[in-house]
Every structure is written in structure tokens, then in C-alpha cells.
Amino acid sequence: MPSFLCGSLQKSYGNSFTLIFIFWFQLALSAQNKADQISNIMSTYHKYNMFDGAVLVAENGKIIFKDAYGLANREWDIPNTSDTKFMIGSVSKPITATLVLILVQKRLIDLDKTLDEYLVEFKEKPAAKVTIRQLLSHSSGMPNYDIIKDFFPKMSRQFFTREDYLKLYQDAPLAFTPGTKYLYSSWAYFTLGYIIEKVTGKSYAKAMKEEIFDKLGMKNSGSYYHTQIVPKRASGYDYGLGNFLSADFRDQSNTMGTGDLYSTVEDLFKFHNALANHSLLNMELTKEMFTPGIKPARYGFGWYNQNFRYTATDSVSANYHLGSTDGFISFMIRIPETNSMAVILCNSYPTDYFGIIKDLLKVLYNKPVILKEPIHKKMESLIGQFDAEKAVAEYKIMKMDTAHFYADWLQLYYLGENLVSFKRYDDARIIVENNVQEFPDKYLNTLSMANIYLNLNKREEAIKFYKKTLELNPDIEEAKNRLKELNGK
């Protein structure tokens, strides 16, 4: 080779190497800058008593941030770590949906077969002709457990056999003709879990372990029951009125398929990757899983599949799910176009999970993040020190100081619900009356208001707000049922 050509090639390759090095250096620097921003965001949320748990953020298939905050166990002062195991609540549903689709691939389940073809318990019942597809997409019309008054303080604490738990809802009328509307139903996913057990001849826990967790190396994930000893599993806590409390007990026998799994942020990253690279599901079923369903939720098979708005003007096509169970909050979001994801697992309830995820996405998309102090946390302290009237009076002052404070309607809703859980109904009434005045278009506020008035034996006021709830959202079964009871029907 002529020497001039050799020199030219060396120069060319040298320039290319330099450009590649600069490119990767810039990527690494960008990832480090983003990691620093995320660290600051999560530390701030932790400082405001709004996050204790683990977080993982990945961009372009690579982890750019992973860390943990707060305590896994407050009695023993044990810190959370990135491999601490957390109950993930309804983030179990995407994993249950994946297991169902694996069994579809194996021809053990048919998406278009009906419930009565799999379970004799549903023969000649209202949901007999509901399909597996409709159960997966929350379009079955099967109600949710909140149609039962006092489900959480009573039934959720009890042990049920599979057959006995089905008896709670197998005779319940459907809310609508299957396949015509969306209605979130944890009972639908319990039913899917039961079908998994029937067609495999294995327990839901064993089928899940063999078909997903073992294959993906998700060694820190499993189906939980309270008699188990699970090393490095976090305890769940409720935070309210300036103090942490141990969360109430939930018997996981009634959350199979819908919210009984525990996991870690690292294991959920493995799950995300498996969906991205089709190592569990073929492309056809993956596409069906992530196809948007019925509006407004656009719920596919186990995921909300829609644009996720992270600023007033910016959104991204995403698959996501949130979860909550006693003392735990979780949120997992996938961004297929860049193979990015974020997951937070929290063992203190409640927290501003939407706010956290939005801030994480702002970092990924190079948008500014402005962290302000949450008004509802100030109000919690004021209620603890004084009363709800003092807290509302200060709210009206703080909401004007938009440079330093922000008001989130959902967190204010949770504040009212927290007071209800403490049976502080008069304080709850004052807070929620303010919530309704400030955010009149939110049906959760009007439903909360109705329930509080009912607890205070203010029948006419309760009826008024149950009706208002149905004006805002005609599909709220709890409001329909309470009105029937109050009207003696």
C-alpha cells in the first residue's frame, strides 16, 4: 500500500476514533449530569417526607441512576437499598398479564374464550360470557371491590380460599355490556390468577416463578403471603400528621393476581428488558399487550398505553402502571421509542408518585425541574399541631406563594382520606370541603365528601355529593350503590 494512502487512512481512522471518543464521552457526561439531577430530585422528595424507597432510571436500555432512600425497617433503623424487596401492589397486574399471554402462547388459554369455559363457578353467572381479553383490558364490566361497603377495614384483613373469595363477587351484576366501556377491576385480575392455577395445575406463585422469575433471573421477586420469611423485604408505613405509623395488615389471599407480588427495582428493569427484546412473548402478543384500549384509560393488557404528560406542553408515548397496597406505593413507566424506563418502589404511603415520575421524565428529556415545597405536607403538620381549620387558613396563604409552594389535588385528597382512616371525621370534612371548593371537577373529591357526610350521619348532604360524583363520572359503582342504600332500593 502506498505510504501516502496508509497515512491518509491512519489520519482518517484517527479522526474517526476521536469523534467516537468525543461522542461517547459526551454521552457519559450527559448521563452523569442526569444522574446528579435525579439524585437531587429524590433527595428533596425524601427531605419532604414524600419518598422512602428505591428508584431506578434507564435511558436507551442502560441504567443511568439507581439508589435508595429512607428506612426499610424503622424499628431496627435498617436502611433501604437498591435490592430491598417491596410489595408492588397493582404493578403486579402487568406481570400477571404477561403470564396469561405466555399461557396463550402455550395454547393453554384462548383470549376469546369465555369465563364459564374455564371456571365452573361462573356458569350461568352475570360474568359467564366475559372473555379473557376483556378481563385483561378492564373492559369486562366486572365491578371492583369498592362496591362492598367497609371492604378494607373488614374483608381485606381476612383469609379466603380461592373459592370463597370468588363467592364475594361471582353473583355481582356487570356494570355494562362487556367490551363496551372501561372499568378498573382488581376482581378481574384475581379471576385471571385463578384461571392460571386451573389451566397449569400449579399455584399462581409457582407458575409465576417458573414462567417468568426463574427465566429472567428475577431472584428477588415472588408472590407474598404474610407467614413467609422474605429476606430484605421492607416493612410498609403510613405517613400522616407528622408521624410514621406501621401500615395496617392485608391478607394477601385476596390479592392473588392483582397485587400480591414483591420485587426490586433491578428485577423490574429485567422485566422491562424482557418485554423489549421479546424473550417472554412473541411480537404479535407484545403488540396486543401494548395496544391502547378503550378511552379514556387506553388500558391494554396490564398497562395504561397512552401519552404521558410530564409538563404542561410535553408528553411521550408510554406504557405505565401504578400500584398501592398497605404501606407501599409503586410506579413503573416504559418509553418504548427510546427503550427507557423509570420505576419507584416506596414503603411509605402516600407519596406524590405522579409528581416524582414527571420530574424524572423531565430530566430524561432535558426539561427544567423546579422543586417546590408541597402544601399538603405543611397542612399535615398544622393539623397535628393545631386543627384542620388552621391548616385550611394557611393553605389559602401558601397557595398564593407559587414561587415556593405547590398544591397537588391528589395529595390533598389523600390528606382527607388519611384523616378518615384516623376517624377524625370533622377534620376530614373541613379539609375535603376545601378540596371540593378548590378542585370541583375531581370526582374523587366529591366521592370523599359524600362518604364523610355519610359517616357524620348527614344523609341529605351525602346524597347530594354521591349524585355530584355521578355527574362527573357516571361509572362510579360505589356512588351508585350508596345511593341505592340511602334511597332504600
Q: Domain of 477: which CATH number?
A: 1.25.40.10
- Residue range 185-213, pLDDT digits in tens: 999 999 999 999 999 999 999 999 999 99
| Helix, strand or coil, per DSSP, at residue 261 | strand
In the chain, which residues have pLDDT < 50? 1-27
Whether 144 and 239 map to the same domain: the answer is: yes
Whether 292 and 149 map to the same domain: the answer is: yes
Whether 130 and 165 map to the same domain: the answer is: yes
| Helix, strand or coil, per DSSP, at residue 373 | strand
Determine contact, residues 257/188, Cβ cutoff 8 Å.
Answer: no
Residue indicated by cell numbers 423485604? 233
Please give the pLDDT value at position 400. 96
Residue 1 resides in a domain: no
- 335, β-bridge pairs: 340
Whether 357 and 271 map to the same domain: the answer is: yes
Residue 24 resides in a domain: no
Residue 339 resides in a domain: yes
Whether 341 and 437 map to the same domain: the answer is: no
Please give the pLDDT value at position 253. 87
Q: How is 40-60 classified by DSSP, letter by letter?
A: HHHHHHHHTT---EEEEEEET
Whether 378 and 360 map to the same domain: the answer is: no
Whether 338 and 391 map to the same domain: the answer is: no
DSSP tag of 279: S
Q: How many CA within 13 A on the CB side of residue 214? A: 7
How far is the CA of 276 from the CAs of 55, 61, 290, 486, in angstroms? 20, 9, 11, 50
Whether 359 and 393 map to the same domain: the answer is: no
How far is the CA of 128 from the CAs of 94, 132, 191, in angstroms? 24, 11, 12
Nearest to residue 379, comparing CAs of 246, 242, 237?
A: 242
Boundary (domain end) residue, out of 364, 392, 423: 364
Please give the pLDDT value at position 241. 80
CATH number of domain containing 235: 3.40.710.10
Determine contact, residues 449/431, Cβ cutoff 8 Å.
Answer: no
Q: Give the chain's length.
A: 489
- The Cα 367–Cα 432 span in angstroms is 33
Whether 355 and 481 map to the same domain: the answer is: no
- The Cα 184–Cα 365 span in angstroms is 31
Please give the pLDDT value at position 30. 65
Domain that holds residue 248: 60-364
How far is the CA of 405 from the CAs of 38, 41, 99, 380, 397, in angstroms? 20, 16, 44, 14, 10
Boundary (domain end) residue, out of 342, 364, 386: 364
Give how many domains the chain has, as a whole number: 2
Nearest to residue 147, comparing CAs of 380, 392, 475, 396?
A: 475
Phi first, then psi, for residue 469 (nearest 5°) are: -60, -45
- Residue range 273-327, pLDDT digits in tens: 999 999 999 999 999 999 999 999 999 999 999 999 999 999 999 999 999 999 9
Global model pTM greater than 0.75: yes
